[in-house]
Structure 1
Amino acid sequence: MQENTVNITGFHAHIYFDNPTREAATRVREGLSAFDVRLGRWHEKPIGPHPKSMYQVAFSPEQFSKVVPWLMLNREGLDILVHPETGDDVKDHTDHSLWLGEKLELKIEFLRQVGTA
């Protein structure tokens, strides 16, 4: 049975880093600037459901086939969460997500609380 993808309005990639991998994260960010993406600000400590420092990259469904393969080949060992935007933050960050590198444990309870606020 085929899932409906009409509800995907965009995608986010969360690029995780720490002090030893910050330079790699900078190089990945510089490479991403060649694409039609919105680069979010650097978060130097965990924020929201994210367990590590990270920055977000937002892109359209049309850019998925360009951005994600590039990240697969150029992530420099960084852990990256890629998820759709469907309006269901919990499912987008869990059931609908894909990981490049290690799958980190997100603080999903944070998303549940925000979703009911």
Structure 2
Amino acid sequence: MSELPTAPVAPVAAHEPPYYMAVFTTVRTQDQSGYSETDARLEQLVKDVPGFLGMDHAQTPGGLGITVGYFRDADALTEWRSNAEHRAAQQRGRAQWYQSYTLHVAKVERSHGFTRGPAGGAASG
């Protein structure tokens, strides 16, 4: 049985639809110099976008990375897509950090969540 992580881990909460999500799936190259710093900077910048709802990240042992960003509306997503530092990071990603990537943008029409309550009970959202 694997150990549970020590830090609390939770997905971004469900929001009232409709809203948008951008799913960015990557396979990275060996050369990751500067990636962590740029990633941390972008995570701070996106929080300043009005309508940004949150972000989930996952990484498989085989190297597939998935980042999902949630945005209240298409204008918020467009603002993020147009951010100058974000665009510069996209260019560097294609030149250096990514072997391949896909981006999927979708309008969320249904959303709900579940959180286990104390003592094994369930709380639903």
TM interval, short-chain normalised:
0.3 to 0.5
Higher strand share: 2
Using CA pairs below 8 Å that are at least 6 residues apart, which structure has the higher relative contact order? 2
Q: Compare CA radii of gyration and give the structure with the larger one.
A: 2
Tell me the TM-score normalised to structure 2 length: 0.43
Tell me the TM-score normalised to structure 1 length: 0.45
Higher helix share: 1
